[in-house]
Amino acid sequence: MSLETTTAAQERCPSCGTPLAGPYCARCGERALEPEALTLRHFLVHTVAHELLHLDGALWRTLRLLFVHPGRLSLEYSAGRRRPYVNPFRLLLIAIVAYALMTSSGFIVTWHIGPVTTSMAPASIPRGRSVEDTIKQVDVYGVLQRPLAAKRTRLEGEAARERFHDRLQAFAEPVSFANVVMLAGVLHLVFWRRRRRFLEDAAFSMHVVSFVLLSSLTVFVALRLRRWLGGYLFVTFGLVALWQFVYLAIAIRRFYLTAGRWGGRLLSVVAAMLLYVLNTVFMTAVQLAGAAVALALF
């Protein structure tokens, strides 16, 4: 390859082929490829350090806005200001991965209100638990006791236990995160007069679910510190639940309603209560359905 050919190739965008007048492409925004950009040192010093440590990085900027200003990130997305922030779907994936990694050893959060017991977050069932104990934890109303008794002999042994948990996890964990679509659909119906596109409702739902998943890790940390927290453990649970509810109400008011009006504030609280109840019912039903599917396959 001649020197002229190499120079010409470097002067064009590697993505769209547009001639470059600087380090970035004026058409697609791609950065000109430099030989040192492919080295491990450049990746660790510039890429990783910039994303994780630089306070102006897109990830930290997104998380800061997500946690400090409920609903504002969704407003930025709807207004078209998307480049400074992490895409809602990518943010949701990051939250799901972080949640799955932190709770891989087992994590189930339930609320008991009188005779009603509901799940508050996607459950992660420990693989070492017996099938009966898992079903007892998931099936709080005893719906699966009859099929469990009919297949009890097939569920004996370590191989059967692992197969049951694999099937439960394969169904329940992915479907649990489908609550994003469910919440977006409910918001689209409740606030149809706002004439927002469904994609905007979906972005809002992804932002809210990302916040709930990441903030729920506080409960996981509290469980690990329960020896030191003592009776304050349940206080922590209550504070996190209150934090998430207030966050949701503020986000709904800011994104869908006119700020400052008492009617809008009341409606946002009612809408938050509706979403809160629907989400807990959805999570409880998904875990129960996952256990039923895992049992049916034996």
Confidence at residue 6, expressed as pLDDT on a 0 to 100 scale: 44
Is the model's pLDDT at 122 over the cut of 80? no
Range from 104-118, 136-150, 193-207 carrying the lowest mean pLDDT: 104-118
| 126 and 239 together in one domain | yes
On whether residue 50 sits in a domain, the answer given is no
Confidence at residue 28, expressed as pLDDT on a 0 to 100 scale: 80
In what helix (H) or strand (E) does residue 117 lie, and over which residues does it extend? strand 116-119
| 146 and 22 together in one domain | no
| 21 and 146 together in one domain | no
Is the model's pLDDT at 8 over the cut of 60? no
Q: What is the pLDDT of residues 10-31, one digit of tens each?
A: 578 877 888 877 778 877 877 7
Query: Parallel, antiparallel, or unpaired for β 110-113 and 116-119?
Result: antiparallel
Q: What is the mean pLDDT of the chain?
A: 79
Domain that holds residue 15: 1-33
Average pLDDT over residues 26-46: 69
| 114 and 232 together in one domain | yes
Q: What is the pLDDT of residues 173-222, one digit of tens each?
A: 788 788 899 899 999 998 887 778 899 999 999 999 999 989 988 887 87
Confidence at residue 2, expressed as pLDDT on a 0 to 100 scale: 45
Please name every residue paired with 274 in a beta bridge, in sequence order, or none if there are none: none
Q: Which of helix, strand or coil describes residue 112?
A: strand
| 24 and 118 together in one domain | no
Where does residue 17 fall: left (phi above 0), alpha (psi -120 to 50 degrees), or beta otherwise? left
In what helix (H) or strand (E) does residue 110 lie, and over which residues does it extend? strand 110-113
pTM: 0.74
Contact 279, 161 (CB under 8 A): no
Q: Which amino acid is at 134?
A: T
Q: What is the pLDDT of residues 222-275, one digit of tens each?
A: 777 777 877 777 788 888 888 999 999 999 999 998 655 777 778 888 888 888
Of 185, 137, 131, 105, nearest in space to 295 by CA: 131
Contact 126, 106 (CB under 8 A): yes
| 144 and 5 together in one domain | no
Q: How far apart are CA 202 and CA 74, in angstroms?
A: 10
Cα 257 to Cα 72, 249, 260, distances in angstroms: 13, 11, 9
Q: How far apart are CA 96 and CA 12, in angstroms?
A: 38
| 101 and 231 together in one domain | yes
Please name every residue paired with 124 in a beta bridge, in sequence order, or none if there are none: 107
Quote the tokens at residue 69. Answer: 């200003």
Is the model's pLDDT at 109 over the cut of 50? yes
| 245 and 183 together in one domain | yes
On whether residue 117 sits in a domain, the answer given is yes
Q: What is the pLDDT of residues 66-84, one digit of tens each?
A: 999 999 999 999 998 888 8
Confidence at residue 59, expressed as pLDDT on a 0 to 100 scale: 85
Q: How far apart are CA 242 and CA 47, in angstroms?
A: 37
Is the model's pLDDT at 136 over the cut of 70? yes
Cα 230 to Cα 30, 44, 226, 238, distances in angstroms: 53, 41, 6, 14
Residue 87: CA count within 13 A, CB half-sphere: 4
Q: How far apart are CA 272 and CA 18, in angstroms?
A: 49
Of 244, 195, 192, nearest in space to 218 by CA: 244
Q: How far apart are CA 292 and CA 103, in angstroms?
A: 22
| 17 and 154 together in one domain | no
Q: How far apart are CA 134 and CA 125, in angstroms?
A: 7
**How does DSSP classify residue 154?**
G
| 127 and 2 together in one domain | no
Number of domains in the chain: 2
Q: How far apart are CA 267 and CA 247, in angstroms?
A: 14
Confidence at residue 134, expressed as pLDDT on a 0 to 100 scale: 81
On whether residue 67 sits in a domain, the answer given is no
On whether residue 39 sits in a domain, the answer given is no
On whether residue 253 sits in a domain, the answer given is yes
Q: Which of helix, strand or coil describes residue 91?
A: helix
Instruction: Give the dihedral of Cα atoms 183, 184, 189, 193; nearest 10 deg.
Output: 130
On whether residue 268 sits in a domain, the answer given is yes
Where does residue 248 fall: left (phi above 0), alpha (psi -120 to 50 degrees), or beta otherwise? alpha
On whether residue 52 sits in a domain, the answer given is no
Q: How far apart are CA 156 and CA 65, in angstroms?
A: 50
